[in-house]
Amino acid sequence: MTEPLSYDDFLKVDIRVGRIVEVVDFERAKIPAYKLKIDFGAEIGIKQTSARFKTNYTPEQLMNRQCLAVVNFPPKNIGGFMSEVLLLGVPRPGGGLVLVSPVENADLGGRLY
């Protein structure tokens, strides 16, 4: 079990709704991955990230799909690619990841509380 945190600690993690607007292969990645561009609406704009969803999703399955991502981590250099947000996923039975996304259509940039 992880260390308990307060609600104020949770609020420091800024998780927002985005829509995937571009998907390309990330050829330099050590683990199969895509480079994604995600639109978070007018306030945050379009951000890029890499994601290890390649074994479970085609580019067509990811395009225009809503997702949740942490938008307030500092950028991270991954194989020469600057990742600006952390796309959220959970383990899939048998391996791979399931993209975390709203069940219903949500406002772009909407914050998770």
Question: Which pLDDT value is given to residue 80?
Answer: 93
In the numeric block, which tokens belong to residue 66? Answer: 């809503």
Mean pLDDT by 10 residues, the chain (113 residues): 90 97 94 96 98 94 98 95 97 93 97 94
Question: Which pLDDT value is given to residue 1?
Answer: 75
Question: Which pLDDT value is given to residue 70?
Answer: 98
- Position 2 in a domain: no
Residue 66 belongs to domain spanning? 13-99
Q: How many domains does the chain have?
A: 1
- Position 106 in a domain: no
β-pairing, 81-83 vs 76-78, is antiparallel
Q: Residue 67 and residue 51: Cα distance in Å, rounded?
A: 12
Q: For residue 90, what is the domain's CATH number?
A: 2.40.50.140
- Position 87 in a domain: yes
- Position 27 in a domain: yes
- Position 113 in a domain: no
- Position 112 in a domain: no
pTM of the model: 0.94
Question: Which pLDDT value is given to residue 69?
Answer: 98
